[in-house]
Amino acid sequence: MPFVSKGIFFGLILLFFGPRYVHAQFFDAIETSLKVKPHLDFKFDTRNSFIGSKYARIYGLKLGLDFDKTFKLGVGYNWLSSDLYRVQNVVNSEGEIKPLNTQYKLGYFTPYAEYVFYNKDPWDISILVLVGGGYSHYTYWDDLWVHMQTSRSFVFIYEPYMTAQYRVFSYFGVGAGVGYRLAYSNDRFSRTKLNSPIYVFKLKIYLSEFVADMKGKF
């Protein structure tokens, strides 16, 4: 599976950043869609992966604009929901360096772009790229039972992935997909352990259609 995910990752790089290798139809579709009045795009997804050797779940909320159900742009906020602990030397409340059990925290904002290359109700299949950044830090209880945290470190995140989505009800859909996460940070743990294949599960609310239908009823 890591091999498959890396293959998707490099394919997405060519798709989004290598125009000379991509058929002009891709760009024509995006250019055409941008001429259409956009609708709201709202998503919640769960991205599962491994940070180090431990299973980790990251939640993401996304809000943006949907151009003709073909091209989507927006921004999202993502945060680590799993409890990840590691023992490391940190400073306690009296200024002493001690080996203590710390909990890793991560949150980051990511502008996103999504291209839907198959859209035939109730299915759509798309590729999505997140590029952004945020901060990581560690929280811990020291040996004197004082709750403390380390200084924050900036983390750059790049996540391309492909998903297939199925509309279950009029305003609600579910989907799944695979991709890869690349990270860079001054924090060594973030820099070396965040790079991982990711497995995506998402819920989609067709917000613009819901709003339009509600306006028609009132």
DSSP letters of 55-110? Answer: EEEEEEEEEEEEETTTEEEEEEEEEE-S-EEEEEEEE-TTS-EEEEEEEEEEEEEE
Closest CA to 205 of 197, 194, 213, 216: 213
Write the pLDDT tens digit of every residue in 143-168. 889 999 999 999 999 999 999 988 88
Banded model confidence at residue 212, pLDDT cuts 50, 70, 90: low
pLDDT at 9 over 80: no
* Burial grade of 154 (CB within 10 A; 0-12, 13-18, 19 or more): middle
The residue assigned the tokens 């360096």 is: 97
- Judge contact between 4 and 178, C-beta under 8 A: yes
The SS3 assignment for 146 reads: coil
Domain chopping of the chain, boundaries: 2-217
- Find the distance separating the first CA and the last CA of the chain, reported in whole Å: 50
2-217 classified as CATH 2.40.160.20: yes
Neighbours of 144 (CB within 10 A): 11
Q: Model-level pTM?
A: 0.78
Write the pLDDT tens digit of every residue in 53-106. 899 999 999 999 999 888 999 999 999 999 999 999 999 999 999 999 999 999
